[in-house]
Amino acid sequence: MHQSHKKLFFFIMATLVAGLSLTGCDSTKPAAPPPGGPPEVGIIVVKTETVSLTTELSGRTVPQMIAEVRPQVSGIILNRRYTEGSDVKAGQALYQIDSAVFEAAYASARAAQARVEASLVSLRLTEERYRDLVKIKAVSQQDYDIAFAGLKQAEAELAAAKAAVAAAQINLVYTSVKAPISGRIGRSSVTTGALVTASQPTALATIQQLDTMYVDVTQSTAEMLKLKQNLANGVLKKSSSAQVKLLLEDGSRYPLTGPLKFSEVSVDQSTGSVTLRAVFPNPRKELLPGMFVRAILVEGIYENAILIPQRGVTRNPKGDAMVMIVGAEEKVEPRPIKVVRTVGDSWLVSDGLKTGDRVILEGLQKARPGTPVKAMPFGSAPAGPPKK
């Protein structure tokens, strides 16, 4: 009896151990993973648009008018009549040269003129009397001819005396050195008491007109010829606007635009470039002479242009540009393209793409050629995991 109870105990224990073993095995068995879909990629659909192509050219600002102030008579500077760095008006007195010598010369010239005028009165009366007497043979023709020649000589001396007076007066006026143009005047190169000479090589000061500024930029002849060829072939259409925009040295944009006036007719042999000139209004005097700027010029209008963001364009080992597109059966296909230039943050594509192509911009690391993908509009939120 005791042996039967013992066998029953061992049988029950063995059954429990076996049941626990089966339960543990069932709990550790992994569930089958759900089936995975194709990877998502962000795409854009290629479309054509009209693009205004521009180019940036470096250049410098130049005053529209500039005048170097020089003395036209010699003498000692008595005083300076302007503030350095201020705006002056045309005709404003800038320097005063000692005028004592020129006042004396003017007075002497006027006295000489008065002396000639006095002698001319007597000669004119003599000629008038002889003119009547020679008609009645009261004086000889020779006497009349002498009187007439004396009168004409005196008239010529009077004209010379008047010219001398005018010259002396001009020199006297020149002792006040005036501004030839309106504008901003710079520093003075002389001080009170300095000796200056007529038409000296060193300017007393320089006046620059800043209300309107020229911007001279250079363009290579190769770029100019290529632009003309594209316009002639119809690749580009000439823009109706010739307005130029400016970028200043700090990268900020100048608020006003200016028209393109002309291009140089000759090529600089040292640089192989031509100079283009634009005119900009400068009411706030923001543009100063000699500033380095970058001018943005409109080259032409490119119709039916295809622009692809730079992030979607890669290079193959040969250096050729290429993109990945979603092709037939929603599979990835590599597509070689030809790019012309950058326009903002995009490439201008001339060959290799057509309207309706779907170019991959996001998820390129998952876009292996030949693999199926799920195309989503670029920038849209990715699809979430499937709900249970």
Region 156-182 average pLDDT = 95
Alpha carbons 388 and 386: distance in angstroms, whole number: 7
Region 11-18 average pLDDT = 49
Provide CB contacts within 8 A for 25, sequence distance 6+. Answer: none
Residue-wise pLDDT for 272-309, tens only, equals 888 888 899 999 999 999 999 999 888 778 888 999 99
Region 98-107 average pLDDT = 96
Provide CB contacts within 8 A for 167, sequence distance 6+. Answer: 109
User: In the chain, what percentage of residues exceed pLDDT 70?
Assistant: 85
For residue 213, pLDDT over 90 is answered with: yes
Which residue in the block uniquely carries the two structure tokens 């002849």?
A: 221
3-state secondary structure 103-168: HHHHHHHHHHHHHHHHHHHHHHHHHHHHHHHHHCCCCCHHHHHHHHHHHHHHHHHHHHHHHHHHHH
More confident residue, 378 or 241: 378
Q: Which residues pair with 275 in a beta bridge?
A: 218
More confident residue, 22 or 125: 125
Would you give the distance in Å from CA 104 to the centre of its chain? 54
Q: Return mean pLDDT, the chain.
A: 84
Q: Is 167 left (phi over 0), alpha (psi -120 to 50) or beta?
A: alpha
For residue 128, pLDDT over 70 is answered with: yes
Contact present, 374 and 38 (Cβ < 8 Å): yes
| Structure confidence at residue 240 (pLDDT) | 57
Q: Which residues pair with 338 in a beta bridge?
A: 351
Region 59-74 average pLDDT = 94
Alpha carbons 260 and 243: distance in angstroms, whole number: 6
Region 31-40 average pLDDT = 60
Which residue in the block uniquely carries the two structure tokens 């006026």?
A: 173
Name the band, by pLDDT with cuts 50, 70 and 90, for residue 84.
Answer: very high
For residue 384, pLDDT over 80 is answered with: no
Domains, the chain, ordered by start:
41-51+305-377 (2.40.420.20), 53-64+210-302 (2.40.30.170), 71-98+175-202 (2.40.50.100), 99-173 (1.10.287)
| Structure confidence at residue 3 (pLDDT) | 47
| Structure confidence at residue 22 (pLDDT) | 42
Q: Which residues pair with 30 in a beta bridge?
A: none
Query: Angle 141-174/100-135 helices, nearest 10 degrees?
Result: 160
CB atoms < 10 A from the CB of 279, how many?
A: 16
| Structure confidence at residue 234 (pLDDT) | 63
For residue 44, pLDDT over 70 is answered with: yes
Contact present, 232 and 304 (Cβ < 8 Å): no
Question: Residue 128, SS3?
Answer: helix
Name the band, by pLDDT with cuts 50, 70 and 90, for residue 21.
Answer: very low
Alpha carbons 254 and 260: distance in angstroms, whole number: 16
For residue 202, pLDDT over 50 is answered with: yes
More confident residue, 219 or 108: 108
Read off φ and ψ for residue 232, nearest 5 degrees. -70, -35
Nearest to 57 by CA among 263, 256, 282: 263
Alpha carbons 34 and 36: distance in angstroms, whole number: 6
| Structure confidence at residue 365 (pLDDT) | 84
For residue 219, pLDDT over 80 is answered with: yes
